[in-house]
Chain A
C-alpha cells in the first residue's frame, strides 16, 4: 500500500517569457488533479477500500483533524500565486473562487478519480449537470451523438433537446454493436451509453464500443451509476470518460444530489471550462458529505449487490412474478457483462408482477421495508414503478419499444437484512395477488 502526499499543489506553469523562442519551449504538461499539497494521493495499486477511505483526503496541517475540513467559503484571498494563475491560464489549480474550485471539491474529485483510475474528475450539482456540461463541452455545433433509446429518462429528455444547441442525437439499441455502428456518421463525435440500462439492466457491449470509438475517432462516454467503480471501471476498458449520478451509490445515503465526470485531464479540463459558463458546481458542504459517503462505498456496494442477487434469485421462482431483470439471473441475455463487471452487478433489479400495472401498484402498497420513492443506491431499499415515475415521460409505445412491460417494478436493494426484504416482498406479492 502506498500512501503519499503530493509535493506540489500547482502543475508547472507554462511560463511564457521573452526568451521562449516558440511554443515548444513552454513548460507545462497536463498534470493530474487539481490537488492541494495537503491532500492524500494514492497510487492505483491501492485496494478499493483504502482508496474509498483515504484518497483525496485533506490533512489539516494546523489541527491534524482526521475527518477532514469543511471549506464553506465562496472566495479565497488573492496572492501572487492566484494573480499568476490568471495570466498563466491555470486557474483550475489554484483556490480563487468556489465556482472555479474549492478544496472540498478537490478532495472528493481526487477520491473519485482514483476510484475510476482517472487523471481528473469534476463534480457537479447533479448527474444531469455533469452529463449536460460534458456533452456540451465535448461536441461542437453540428456534432452528432449516438446514444440509447432506453437511457435514463432525464438523460433521454436532455438528448432530445440537444438539437436546440445545434447537436443531433441518434437513439439506438444499446446492446447491438451493429446498430450502434450503423448510426455513426461523418459528424458523430460521441457515443454515450449506460453500463446497465434503466430499468431493464441491459448491458452494453463495452469492449466493442471502446474498439468502435477508437477505430472511428469517437469519444466513448459511459454512465456507470448503476455498477459503480467497485464492480466496473469503464476507463480500463477504453472509455474516455465516465459519469455518475453521485446521488445514488457513490454517496449512498439519499441525502444529497450530485454528479461527476472522470477521465483524462485533457477532457475534464474542457468540461470544467464549460462548467464555468453554465454553472452547476457542487457546494462545499455537499462535497464534504459526498466524500464522507464514499468512505463506505465498497462495503455498501458489495452488500447491496449480494442482496440484490439473492432477491433476484428468490423472485425468479415466485409464482406471482413473470420475469426478473438482473445480470445474476439464469438466462440473462447480455453475457458480455461478465467481461467487464467483476464481483457483483449492483443493487438494482426490476421484475414484472403478474397481473400488470394494477397488481404492481397493489404490491408496492403492501411492502413495508422498501420506501415507495424514486431514486436508487441509498442504504435504504426503494421501490417504484417506471411507468408512472422514471419513465412517465415516455409514451406507451416508447415504453413497449424499450421493453418495459406491464407490471414492471424497479427495486433498489439497500443494506437491510436480505431475508427481511425477501419476506416483505413475498408477503406483498401474495397480498397484491389476492387484492387484484
Chain B
C-alpha cells in the first residue's frame, strides 16, 4: 500500500464500473434540523452506492450564523471543507495512480463572503496545495490540473448547475416544486470577510480539516470506497452545509412573512457518478448531480404558498448561488515550500483541460489497440 490507499482496489473499482456502469452511481443525502437559532443538526444518511447501501452513522453541527470563535463551525466553513476535502482526496488518488509517495499534503482553501449584506456573495476562491512528495514538479502540476477536472465539488462550483426545491407541508400530501437555475449574487459585499480552512492529508482518504478559529473535523470515505469510514465525505459536508443554510433562510423568511413555523426538516440529496470522475466515461459530467432540497414544514399555509416562501429563501442562499453560478478558482501549488505553478480554473480552462484529457485517453486506447 502506498499513501494508505490500496491502489489495486482503486483499479478494481474502475474496472468494475467499466463492466457494470450501474455500480458507478452514488446517491448521498443529509437530514437537517435546527436545534436552536444558532445551531443546526446535520445527520448524514445512508448512501446508495451502485447496487448496495452504505450506512453512514455521522452527525455534525453547523451554525448558520456562527461567528469566529464559536464552538460550532459555520456552514461556510463546511462549504470550504467540502471543497478542500474533495480536491485533496482526488489529488492523493492521482499521486497514488502514478506511484508517487506522499510525505505530506494539504490544501488551504480561502473564499470571500459577505457577512453584512442581504444577498449571497461569493467572491474570490483560491486553493493552495502544499505537497511534499517524490513526484516531479511538472507531474504534480499536471495532477492538480486533472484534479480540477475530476473533483466533483470543484466542478460544482466552477460550472453552473441547478437545485430542485421540494416543499411539503407536514399536514398535506401535496409537494410544491421549484427549480433554481440562477441565484443573483451581490457584486459588492457590504462587509467582506475572507474565511480559510486548511485540510491536511492523514492516511489514504482520511483528511483532517481545521478552521481559522481552530475547530477541527475529519473528512473520509466509506470503507466501500477505500476509506477508514471515520467521517462524512466531502459531498456529505456540502449537502449538510447547503441544507443548513436553507433551513436558516426559510426560518428567516417565515419571520419576514409572519408565517407561524412549528417545525422544519430539510432533506438534502445529490449524487456523483464515478464513471466521470475516474475518467472511464468522459461523456458523464463530473459534479454533484441531481441536487434536491426537500423542505418539510409544519405550518398552516398550503404547499404552494410555502413553495413560494422556500423559493424566496432559497434565492438568498450562498450555497445555491455557488451551485447555480459559475466561479473561477485560483489554484497554486507549493512543493517543499516552493511555488511550482499557478493556474485559474474556470469554465474555459476546464473545457481546454477536458479536451486534452479526452485526446490523451483516445491516444492511450489507440496504443493499446495497436
Contacts and interface: CB of A to CB of B under 8 A. Distances in A.
Contact of B55 (A29, A86, A87, A142): A142
A266 to B, nearest CB: 7
B54 A140 contact: yes
A373 B309 CA distance: 72
A20 B98 contact: yes
Contacts of A80: none
A217 B55 CA distance: 12
A189 B1 contact: no
Contact of A16 (B12, B96, B279): B96
A30 interface: yes
Given A16-B96, A87-B1, A189 B135 contact: no
A142 B364 CA distance: 43
A141 interface: yes
Contact of B8 (A90, A141, A142, A187): A90
A300 interface: no
B53 A188 contact: yes
A89 B6 contact: yes
A28 B53 contact: no
Contacts of B229: 140-141
Which bracket fits the contact residues of A? 35 or more
Contacts of A214: 51
Contacts of B11: 14, 23, 26-29
Contacts of B150: 22
Contact of A21 (B1, B54, B100, B364): B364
Nearest to B274: A23
B36 interface: no
Interface in A84-105: 86-90
Q: Is the interface of A mostly helix, strand, loop or mixed?
A: loop
Scoring A21, A142, A218, A219 by chain B CB atoms within 10 A of each residue's CB, the highest score goes to: A21
Given A30-B16, A140-B222, A89 B55 contact: no
Contacts of A26: 7, 10-11, 14, 97
Contacts, number: 126
A45 interface: no
A152 B301 CA distance: 54
Contact of B16 (A18, A22, A29, A189): A29
B279 A218 contact: no
A186 B27 CA distance: 13
Nearest to A86: B1
B99 interface: yes
A333 B364 CA distance: 60
A270 B19 CA distance: 20
B139 A140 contact: no
A266 B12 contact: yes
A24 interface: yes
Given A16-B2, A16-B99, A217 B12 contact: no
Interface string B32-75: 00000000000001101001111111000000000000000000
A270 B13 CA distance: 13
Contacts of B100: 18
B48 A217 contact: yes
B52 A16 contact: no
Given A20-B98, A140-B54, A217-B52, 17 more contacts: A17-B98, A18-B98, A21-B360, A22-B146, A22-B357, A23-B94, A24-B14, A25-B97, A28-B8, A89-B1, A140-B56, A140-B222, A141-B57, A166-B57, A189-B53, A218-B53, A270-B224
18 contacts: A13-B8, A18-B98, A18-B136, A21-B279, A22-B97, A22-B150, A23-B278, A24-B279, A26-B10, A86-B1, A139-B55, A140-B54, A186-B46, A187-B55, A189-B53, A219-B52, A266-B16, A270-B223
